[in-house]
Structure 1
Amino acid sequence: MPQLIPFYFINQLSFSFLTLLALIYIISKYFLPLFTFQQVIRMYITKLNNK
């Protein structure tokens, strides 16, 4: 049925957009603060080491 092809692409586009938004939220909420915390700990250790 060729008349259903646009709906398939809109469905696929909306699903991929929602998946991308969910991944960005999960990464920014859970993974990025861990990397920031790790960098702060590394800087603190190097400052302690230099004294």
Structure 2
Amino acid sequence: MPQLIPFFFLNQLSFSFIILLALVYIFSKYILPLYTFQQVIRMYITKLSNKN
């Protein structure tokens, strides 16, 4: 049924866009701040170890 092909691609596009938005939100809210915090901790540790 060729008349259903545009709906299939629209459905696929909308779900991929929703999944992309969800991944961006999850990474920016939960995963990436942990790496930033880890880099800050490493910076402070190296500053403290260089003072001795």
TM-score exceeds 0.5: yes
Post-superposition CA distance 1:15-51 (Å, at most 9, x none): 0000000000000100000000000000000000000
Counting aligned pairs with the same residue, the percent is 82
Q: Structure 1: which 5+ runs fail to align? A: none
1:50 paired to 2:50: yes
Q: Measure the CA separation in 1 of the matches of 2:50 and 2:23.
A: 39
Once the two structures are TM-superposed, the CA of residue 5 in structure 1 deviates from its matched residue by: 0.3
**How many residues matched?**
51
Output the amino acid matched with 1:40: V
The residue aligned with 2:36 is 36
C-alpha RMSD of the superposition: 0.3
